[in-house]
Structure formats: C-alpha cells, structure tokens
C-alpha cells in the first residue's frame, strides 16, 4: 500500500513539474526578447491594421541611426487598435515584433500563468498539498489578471 502511495505522489509531482516546465518553455520564446534587451533592436511600432491573430504596422527604430522604416508583425492581444504606437523589440532575423515594457513582460509570461493554475489542480488533487496548491493558483491568477489589466487599459 505504501508503495502505491509513493508511486502516486511521484507521478503527480512529476506531472506538476512537467506542467510548470512546459509553461516556462512556452513563455521563454517571447519573454527572452522582452527581458534580455542587450543587442536587441528596439523601437516603436505604429499599428496599421489588425487581423484575428496578428497586427501589422510600421516599425521605427529608437536608435540614433534611423534607417528605413519596415513593416513588422506582432501577435494580437486585446489592446491593439489602428494608429496605436506600441514599444517593441524585434526578434533577430525576422520581421516579428514583441511588446516590451511591463505589459509586454506580463503578456510574455501568460503561458506560465496558465501552467501555474493547471499545476495547482494537480498539486491539490494528486499530492494533497492544499496550501501549496492555493499559492500556485493565486500566483497564476495574479499573473493572468495583471496581464489582462495592463493590456486592456
């Protein structure tokens, strides 16, 4: 009986850890461009049009050597409107931009916030660690709420 309990706890702990690692992995693709700014091209994007998944606009570099303006693409969130100016960083070698600043930071970590919520269910149900589960759930909810609030207003 103790062996079954140990097996269940090990499996649930591994599943919770896998969910958290997957959340960090999914977030890091965007978050690295927001957080690690050394050597990244930064500027401002003026939105010209938005589709259902992405927005397109003109990019103006914030460096002193203002080269030609380029068309860039950014993932659509809830706040982009035509004519809006968004601070962005360009992903190297692409025309894909990511939002920078506080809203960009929070938006980049959205997948991790979802992973925190999912892992809280596993921790509560599978590991029976209610306080830890509540901490994970509240942290995930705070991250998702803060991201929504900074992007919506």
The model's pLDDT over 72-108, given as tens digits with 9 standing for 90+, comes to 999 887 667 888 899 999 998 889 999 999 999 999 9
In this prediction the pTM is: 0.88
Q: For the chain, give the mean pLDDT.
A: 91
Top-confidence residue, 136 or 53:
136
CA distance 55 to 96: 10
Q: What is the pLDDT of residue 68?
A: 65
Reported as a pLDDT band with limits 50, 70 and 90, residue 128 is: very high
Q: What is the pLDDT of residue 61?
A: 87
Label residue 2 exposed, middle or buried (CB < 10 Å: 0-12, 13-18, 19+): exposed
Residue 66: pLDDT over 80:
no
Q: What is the pLDDT of residue 151?
A: 83
Q: Kindly state the average pLDDT of the residues 47-66.
A: 84
Side-chain half-sphere CA neighbours of 92 within 13 A: 8
Reduce the secondary structure of the chain to three states and give it as a string: CHHHHHHHHHHHHHHHHHHHHHHHHHHHHHHHHHHCCCCCCEEEEEEEEECCCEEEEEEEECCCCCCCCEEEEEECCCCCCCCCEEEEEECCCCCEEEECHHHHHHHHCHHHHHHHHHHHHHHHHHCCCHHHHHHHHHHHHHHHHHHHHHHHC
| Beta strands 85-90; 42-50: pairing state | antiparallel
Q: Kindly state the average pLDDT of the residues 8-34.
A: 96
How many percent of the chain have pLDDT more than 70?
95
């Amino acid at each position: 009986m103790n062996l079954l309990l140990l097996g269940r706890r090990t499996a649930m702990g591994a599943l919770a850890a896998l969910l958290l690692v997957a959340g960090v992995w999914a977030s890091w693709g965007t978050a690295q461009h927001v957080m690690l700014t050394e050597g990244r091209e930064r500027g401002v994007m003026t939105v010209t049009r938005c589709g259902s998944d992405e927005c397109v606009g003109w990019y103006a570099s914030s460096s002193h050597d203002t080269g030609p303006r380029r068309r860039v693409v950014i993932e659509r969130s809830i706040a982009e409107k035509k004519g809006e100016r968004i601070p962005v960083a360009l992903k190297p070698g692409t025309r894909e931009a990511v939002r920078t600043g506080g809203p960009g930071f929070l938006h980049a970590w959205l997948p991790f916030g979802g992973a925190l919520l999912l892992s809280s269910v596993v921790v509560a149900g599978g590991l029976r660690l209610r306080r830890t589960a509540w901490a994970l759930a509240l942290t995930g909810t705070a991250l998702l709420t803060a991201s929504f609030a900074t992007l919506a207003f």
